[in-house]
Structures are given as C-alpha cells and as structure tokens.
Amino acid sequence: MEKLNKSDLFSLEEYSINRDGFRKKVLEEKQHRKVYIGEHVVLLFENKNTIQYQIQEMLRIEKIFDAEGIQEELDAYNPLIPDGSNLKAVMLIEYPNVEERKEKLKILKGIEKKIWIKVGSHNKIFAIADEDLEREDETKTSAVHYLRYEFSPSMINDWKNDASIVMGIDHENYQSSETIISSDISSSLSADFA
C-alpha cells in the first residue's frame, strides 16, 4: 500500500469543511477492521484511510499547517500503513476498572508477542510487536501496543480465496477462545495485501 504524502491530506480549512463526512466514513470502515480476542484485547487494523484520519485529527488539534510539522506527522504515522505483505494493528488491553487494569498489566507481560493469526491450514503467524519503541518494563506491559504480521505469498493467496481466518492469544495469564474472523472483516483486511 502506498504511504501518505502531503498532497493526500486536506488543508486545515478543507478538513474543517469535510471533517464530518470523512470522519463518518472512516469510523464506519473501522468497524470492519476491529477484532476482539476474548473480553479484554482488541486489535484495530490500520490502513491508509484510518491513518489519514489520525493525521488529519492531529493537524487539526495541534493547528499544524507548516510543511515541516505536516511532514513530521506523516513520518510518525506512515509506518502504521500496511506494506502489501503484512497487516498492522494497534492492540489495546481494556479493563474498565483502573486497579484491575494495573494488576492485569503486571501478569500479562509479553502478551503482545503471543497474539497470532492463522490462515487456513497454514501455521500460526505471531505478531512482531512495538518496533518503534519498547512499551514494556520489568514490572508490567503497556495497555497499547503496535503489531505487524508478515504473510507469505501462499498465505495471502489463500486469504484472498476465502480461507478461514482465526486469531488467538497463547499467553498463560489470558484466557480466551480462538476468534474466527467474520467474512466482512476478512474481506476488509485482505484489501491491505498488494
């Protein structure tokens, strides 16, 4: 997938005019790119549109209109766009109760490397996590991680030809059953493969 350039973005004025429609379109698209694994882990798979929305919102909130500032946002967010042989996702660990979340983050260290995708009869593919910076320390993991999944050409071919797609987590302290990906989510994600 191509990365975003300055010419792909709305100016601040254009974005203020088009924001409601663009936001509605992207939020609807995100509903077909969200996967829950168990009760407390959700993956939000990114693509060019979802990343453009994030950049546009940052530019709007921070009132960034100079070329250097815009390029800094592009440089920060473009790595989250899939490259054609992979999927990229933001992983969130969600526990509404703050105290419970603190305790769970202690026992869920390493969970970000234990989340897998299985395409048809192929072996599980485990996530490559947090390539930008370490989000875990000696005592706990973070509630947010960035994941990349790399697929072979035969896996991509099988995915595009409607193989079953299953996700799961092999972490000793997280109980979840395997999640079978629905056809609408599978179809949305397959568009990320070049």
- Looking at the chain, the domain(s) classified CATH 2.60.40 span 34-46+82-194
Mean pLDDT (the chain) is 94
73-102, pLDDT tens digit by residue? 999 999 999 999 999 999 999 999 999 999
Architecture of domain 34-46+82-194 in this structure: Sandwich (2.60)
Quote the pLDDT of residue 127: 95
Model pTM?
0.91
123-163, pLDDT tens digit by residue? 999 999 987 767 777 889 999 999 999 999 999 999 999 99
Quote the pLDDT of residue 155: 98
Determine the Cα–Cα distance for residues 176 and 193; give it in Å rounded to an integer.
28
- CA atoms lying within 13 Å on the CB side of residue 186: 22
DSSP symbol at 181: P
